[in-house]
Structure 1
């Protein structure tokens, strides 16, 4: 296991974690952003399997949140407001009339304190951040830690921890766009995905949850058996069309333990397994991405990546029976998501 650190301008640091299997993960302390994950294909050829910018300066704008830690609340908050313990909190409207991914100065825009660590079996980076009450419209000051750990068994573990001095809303995630073809050779049309979920959250025309949880059975949202993402891209189902002919929906996991998601690309032989103690996730298939982003390998395009944003649901602030995102004062937020990378013959 190895860790290398490179100093960039603006107090940015780039950490490179690597193991003896040819796997490598690059992480910025700016936004806690994963800029590159290199994984071998079935023939042992190492290639990058996430979307990242060619120029680091582009992470300052980063309109599509490539690879970033998202907080305080991942996802959209309807009308950019919520009530908690009898008080109303008004947030920045940075997505039409709604609040998205913690606002324009969310965790994806922060310079985190960073500390690298390594042993014989793992290498990682611990990131920490303090947010004062009033800095972003949310109640309470927050002490946050996010730890990335790469193991010698090709597991990338993300541990999230946070403490607050006042009851607040919080759900954190990572916003990496995965493309298992390697070096963005193709779109994710032929990615075969399996999700442990029989219910997903209905969206309105503004991508805001309606409060209804729909049964996946008989729809292009039923991933309990593996299916190609392209089935949703080409579907006439209204929920696919609302999202720009794809997916931008919250899936509620059926089980608390075990594998929650698998994704694989048959041509390269790469397979990714996602385990998490989060209650659900947003799967986003880059439906609104255009050709304007200069990525490391080539220009961006629609369907070039797929995000698996494991998290609670912001819809719980407006609707009952959704996975909660309230962190009580004095409690500690602790969540974990693990991405394991394999190859198949």
Structure 2
């Protein structure tokens, strides 16, 4: 018997926020209960599932103060289990791609689960996006949020070491959504956690994002082969469709016959952020929807940003608003270490050893 839906729409929240509200969302085939946590602060409303740490919806106001859900997703747990292209998910153990699902650490070769042709994508067939997380609400001063915990066992999806993971989703008094990732291991491993929200600032189901304006503070990007694995080159964006150093619409150059765009059927690449790895979050990207006036600024401690233009949405998925998602109806801005870093010694290291703590932070700031 497959997963089934238990509850209806998101519960109402008190104006101005308050303690996160927990409701039953559904049950997995094995009977595990999945809950939806609803929280609000600073004008931002967030719904999070204990399955996959998924952001089911995120609502922010437009220039007229009207709220809309700006993240793509589903109404039912069954859809998330059966057919989700990582909508809103918490990604790990290794976000993005690992070539042939294979890498070597301290002389030992590890084979991890492959699920993208011969490559591993977003942790493999049963990554963090398909796991049940323990969730604990918190309030800290004027902030409200959720702690998400899980233990990734030694050998899960082929990754070495028992990884203890803690992720904090925080809504600040200003309505920012902050993500703090933390992990420790008992054996040398690799770690690269990220969030896979598909954004449409016109509102979920609001049509194409090709008219959204995007700016990325990156002078280089990592070209890929036909399997979307980085070649190892750090290429200059100058004179290419990959130059977003000044804001331009997503659609301005997306149909140019550039080999890299042909490989990915659009944008699905890692930008090498000019600021590099930083101790505190630095603003690296700004997205704007002219129709609603909504803006999103992304700040991070990470060295890379994967911009994905929703190329593989194919009209077979129906979202929370009851509309069909087609190519380019949402985009992702995934803060990260570079793809295939375990196999690219020249890339910033993603190796985590016992006694070390993996920590990264990303902040999403909304405005008009």
TM > 0.5 fold call: yes
Question: Which deviates more from structure 2 when the two are superposed, residues 113-122 or residues 297-306?
Answer: 113-122
**What is the CA RMSD across the aligned residues, in angstroms?**
1.2
For residues 35 and 218 of structure 1, the distance between their equivalents in structure 2, rounded to whole angstroms, comes to 38
For residues 324 and 107 of structure 1, the distance between their equivalents in structure 2, rounded to whole angstroms, comes to 21
The structure 2 residue matched to 1:307, chosen from 332, 339, 344, is: 332
The number of aligned residues is 341
- After superposition, the C-alpha distances for 1:2-58 in whole angstroms (9 at most, x for unaligned) are 22111233211101111253x201000110000101011000110010001132321
Name the counterpart of 1:228.
249
Alignment partner of 1:284 out of 293, 308, 316 = 308
- Name the counterpart of 2:60: 39
Q: By how many angstroms is 1:136 displaced?
A: 1.7
Matched, 1:258 2:282: yes
Structure-1-length-normalised TM-score? 0.96
Aligned equivalents of 1:314, 1:180: Cα separation in 2? 27
Q: In the TM superposition, what is the alpha-carbon distance from 1:120 to its structure 2 partner?
A: 5.5
Aligned partner of 1:247 among 258, 267, 285: 267
Whole-Å Cα distance in 2 between the matches of residues 306 and 130 of structure 1?
Answer: 30
- The 8 Å contact of residues 229 and 339 in structure 2, kept in 1 or not, is answered as no
1:204 alignment partner, SS class = coil
Partner of 2:21: 4
The structural deviation recorded for 1:321 is: 2.0
| Map 1:133-212 → 2, pairs under 5 A | 133-212=154-233
Q: Does 1:97 align with 2:101?
A: no
Kindly indicate whether the alpha-carbon contact (under 8 Å) linking 1:202 and 1:249 is maintained by their aligned counterparts in 2. Answer: yes
Deviations 1:272-300, CA, capped at 9 Å, x for gaps: 00000011111111101101111112111
Quote how far apart the aligned CAs of 1:162 are.
Answer: 0.2
In structure 2, what is the Cα distance between the partners aligned to 1:220 and 1:98?
A: 26
Shift of 1:119: 4.8
SS of equivalent residue, structure 1 residue 57: helix
Q: Deviations over 1:114-160 (max 9, x none)?
A: 00112552211100000111122011001001110011201000000
Q: Give 3-state SS (helix, strand or coil) of 2:78's partner.
A: helix
Report whether the alignment pairs 1:16 with 2:38: yes
- Find the aligned partners of 2:109 and 2:238 in 1 and give their Cα distance: 38
2:131 corresponds in structure 1 to: 110
In structure 2, C-alpha distance between the alignment counterparts of 1:76 and 1:111, rounded to whole Å = 22
Question: What secondary structure sits across from 2:156 in the alignment?
Answer: coil
Unaligned runs of 5+ in 1: none
Distance in 2, matches of 1:15 and 1:111, equals 14
8 Å CA contact 2:42–2:171 kept in 1: the answer is no
Q: CA deviation at 1:200?
A: 0.3
Structure 2 unaligned spans of 5+? 1-16, 28-32
Cα offset, 1:63, TM superposition: 3.8
**Contact persistence 1:232–1:247 (CA under 8 A):** no
Contact 1:49 1:183 survives alignment (8 Å): yes
Once the two structures are TM-superposed, the CA of residue 233 in structure 1 deviates from its matched residue by: 2.1
1:335 aligns with 2:355: no
Task: Judge conservation of contact 1:130–1:143 (CA < 8 Å) in 2.
Answer: yes
C-alpha contact (below 8 Å) 2:205/2:325 kept by paired residues? no
Runs of 4+ off more than 4 Å: none
Deviations 1:240-278 (A, max 9, x none): 12111x110011110146310100001100000000001
The 2-side partners of 1:142 and 1:93 are apart by: 20
Evaluate the alpha carbon distance shift between residue 64 and residue 183 of structure 1 in structure 2; reply closer, same or farther with a 3 A threshold.
Answer: closer
Match of 2:342 in 1: 317
- Quote how far apart the aligned CAs of 1:174 are: 0.3
Shift of the alpha carbon at 1:206?
1.1
CA distance in 2, matches of 1:147, 1:62: 26
